[in-house]
Chains A and B, each alone.
Chain A
């Protein structure tokens, strides 16, 4: 039967979709996804260079390669960059590119709001980093504890850059959160019930709920901080009765859900990669999904385990300790489900698969040391030591970043139409795996030997020298692995092997499309009869009872299909610019903020009246 001709609007023509202006004004979720990815990987380099500077400084005792204050800036900016400008936006790159494709949608629910999220994120990230050129980079830690952040103890502009920049990033994340929940709940292809959604889409949904419910709390924490610093209020001023612990509560009420915002996307990616390369459906998929939901829920009730040493009392300590240990259960369920998925499968050890397996093993190590912190008496010893640094690098590098790399190798062919070089990919994997263990495993020992975090140097003779040197060597190995990755990425982009549409024998809808997918995604609304629609199509339905009647449907197709596509718009970028001008203006002059606010209002009105 003949496929109908697809007629796209004039603004989707070839020449309209090239050149820099087409990227600035784009509202296409795929292009926005690519821009998120490129930005995140650029910030990855920046955060990595900061990490190398930190490790170089700590390689040997009593060094003074960077000064104490600049070291504090490096630590703060390394964490801020890696969390907010690398892991979150790289996850957002996959949300943007993949979620509409995986649920069979034309685009996200609000394409222009999506562009707004991206530009606001980018401006926010550049704003925080511009502090390096304007006097002082933030140096009070990524957790920004009061009252270290007060004017008295942080007189420079660094904390203002940090607070206002994070506020801007929060706006971007919140807008994306509303957008993606609406997209996932409302725009699924016919037949894709919630329980047939790919696990990656599920984890995206959980993450977005975490975002919209946790970010307002750091918004308030940062508003109070900004008021304290700029207008002389007393929220965190002990002399006036203010309580610095208020900051810690508000910050960790956000901060702990944030941990799951960072890890759940990687868990979703791994849940897509393992079944494809083990050629088996995900074992107990509903359990993986409900575990993810449970992690999201309980994640809101564990924040005070970051505050055991502040003396909350035995009742609070017990409650938060129990809740924290509880989270280990759904996490363990997921790990066993992943293991059961590959058990007995016909495994292909591609780079994506290796990274997914690396994720499981490294995340388990980080998870185990995490459960140790759940016990208050043990936590009292771990708090502020390198043991904690070892723990969260295992979950963030060994977990989140390995998972995201797995996603890059897995979906690169879909996005570019080319395969990444597998040989270099494997070199990248092994250098990453060895590098991260050489870097972060010795930090467990350092912590046990009593080395505190966030010190810019240390004396010799405590037995710390060898492990510090070891960690530094590992860090450079990680830098080498990143270099290999970037070379592989660029080389594969330039002259990688053609991948075809479905190089991995994928199970989900994105693989039914060409690589790269057409601007309008699907010619016909796909119909979904199970959680593995493309496998069903290729190998017959695994659910005998709900066979589709596709032939009958296609007979009724018209000869031509006119597709409505949202036109390009520059207003999202204008409004983003207004947002950053508003926040940045608070540091310069009220008039600048007023101009920013007016830009937001004018831009929003113009946006509203724009033809769709």
Chain B
């Protein structure tokens, strides 16, 4: 994945640079870009929030939300950030066994979160919240769906990194590559904290 070699000078002078590896720098930029993506989706959700009540077009958020269930899934995702940190620390120490363990656990916790979301979507759908039904349905499914897609891709990515540790390409599982996967994972986690606060918790304020 890393193509830094083309940056290596033909003799010993290092090029002027920011001291951050190309891959990591590009990934920070991607995350900045993704912030704007989620920012726009969240702004869309917020600008339509409560409008269905004006049109008498239910179901409304409080008819459906179960803050207990979502709190558990949020806790699960937060814990996956902890295991991700441990995975990065393990590869830094060169401990392959622990790297595998924590990567696998992170992916598992991520998969559980996606499972929770699947349950929630099914439940809401059966309760009458349709993508096509009202603004809450459209904005809720698209916003949380995009987040869920990000988590799913993250799980696939982590599993690929994990699988690589068992192949002859083992040398590709470097500290940098695990750290970059970690950056993505923490970002997705932070976005969920924002969504959980604005979409779920805010409904319970007076």
Contact = CB atoms under 8 A, between A and B. Distances in A.
B7 A220 contact: no
Contacts of B160: 605, 608
B135 A240 contact: yes
B71 interface: no
Interface string B2-14: 0111111111011
Question: Considering residues B7, B16, B55, B169, which has the most beta carbons from chain A within 10 angstroms of its beta carbon?
Answer: B16
A185 B25 contact: yes
Contacts of B20: 186
B70 interface: no
A415 interface: no
B108 interface: no
Contacts of A215: 33
B6 A216 contact: no
Interface string A483-508: 00000000000000000000000000
B138 A235 contact: yes
Given A109-B3, A224-B44, A234-B134, A181 B55 contact: no
Nearest to A212: B33
A36 B33 CA distance: 24
A523 interface: yes
B9 A241 contact: no
B5 A182 contact: no
A106 B6 contact: yes
Contacts of A213: 32-33, 36
Given A107-B6, A240-B55, A186 B32 contact: no
The 10 A-B pairs of least Cβ separation, nearest first, read A220-B40, A216-B37, A216-B36, A233-B138, A232-B132, A188-B16, A186-B17, A109-B22, A212-B33, A525-B9
Given A182-B29, A233-B142, A190 B3 contact: no
Contact of A186 (B22, B44, B142): B22
B6 A527 contact: no
B181 to A, nearest CB: 12
Interface in A228-246: 231-235, 240-243, 246
Given A227-B131, A246-B47, 13 more contacts: A178-B27, A182-B22, A182-B29, A185-B18, A186-B15, A186-B20, A187-B15, A190-B13, A192-B16, A220-B44, A233-B131, A242-B48, A242-B135
Contact of A190 (B16, B18, B156, B169): B16
B19 to A, nearest CB: 9
A142 interface: no
Interface residues of A, number: 66
A564 B6 contact: yes
A185 B57 CA distance: 51
Interface in A168-202: 174, 177-179, 181-182, 185-193
A557 B11 contact: yes
26 contacts: A107-B6, A109-B4, A109-B26, A111-B6, A181-B25, A186-B25, A188-B16, A190-B16, A193-B16, A214-B36, A215-B33, A217-B40, A232-B132, A233-B137, A235-B44, A240-B135, A241-B48, A241-B54, A241-B135, A242-B135, A246-B44, A558-B11, A561-B10, A566-B6, A608-B1, A612-B5
A192 B40 CA distance: 37
Contact of B5 (A193, A253, A564, A605): A564
A110 interface: yes
Interface in B116-132: 131-132
Contacts of B142: 223-224, 227, 233
Contacts of B55: 240-241
Given A105-B15, A182-B22, A566 B29 contact: no
Contact of B29 (A177, A227, A557): A177
A219 interface: yes
A532 interface: no
Interface in A96-110: 104-110
A265 to B, nearest CB: 19
B52 A241 contact: yes
B30 interface: yes
A524 B44 contact: no
A153 interface: no
Contacts of B86: none
A189 B16 contact: yes
Contacts of B57: 240-241
Contacts of B44: 220, 224, 235, 246, 250
Interface in A501-559: 522-525, 527, 557-558
Contact of B18 (A178, A186, A566): A186
B38 to A, nearest CB: 8
A284 B186 CA distance: 43
A609 interface: yes
A216 B15 CA distance: 31
Interface in A257-287: none
Contacts of B4: 109
A345 B27 CA distance: 44
A112 interface: yes
Contacts of A105: 6-7, 15
A193 B87 CA distance: 36
A126 interface: no
A112 to B, nearest CB: 7
Interface string A102-139: 00111111111100000000000000000000000000
